[in-house]
Amino acid sequence: MSEHPSYLNFDKASYAWRPDVDYCAHPEAYRVGRGEQGVLIVEPYKSQMTPHWRFKTPEIARESAERLTAMFLAYLDAEDFVGADMARKFLQMGFTRARRYANYKGGRKYDKDRNHAPLERGTGDPQKAESARIFYDAWREAEAHPDYARLKAEWKQNYG
């Protein structure tokens, strides 16, 4: 694991996703990427999903995961791979962010006042661990969906 956050050396010019692209109108410009890459940039999907992405309590996380899963399934029904992949990314991000808050007080992994030194683990919110589990289950179920796998394979064949 790196001793410093990756955003310190972020190369914006080489990033595959652009905030000025309408990915609904130009789905060919979308890149699958790793994990959650592009999740907070790809419009109009980001704006459609962000209001539903919450994990403060397990109840809120459950409602959020259910709403994002419903969006995921609707995108699959519409054969919209970009939308489905973005919904999957939001589910994954629900897991990773809730897990970070479960592991670290305030969700911060690094101390910016001490040259971004790693902070102590295990100081976070125990409710967030349950929120993370809820999102994890929804994310893994989405990723294993056979229609998602088919659309992803087609996407990679057509666009790389």
The C-alpha atoms of residue 160 and residue 157 are separated, in whole angstroms, by 6
pTM, rounded to two decimals: 0.84
Digit-coded pLDDT (tens) for 97-143: 998 888 877 666 665 666 666 656 666 678 899 999 999 999 999 99
pLDDT of res. 100: 85
Tokens for 13, please give them: 């010019």
For 83-109, what is the mean pLDDT?
87
Q: Which residue has the tokens 């970009």?
A: 82
What single DSSP character describes residue 4? S
Q: What is the pLDDT of residue 147?
A: 98
Spans of all domains in the chain: 6-159
Would you state the pLDDT for residue 109?
61
pLDDT at site 126: 83
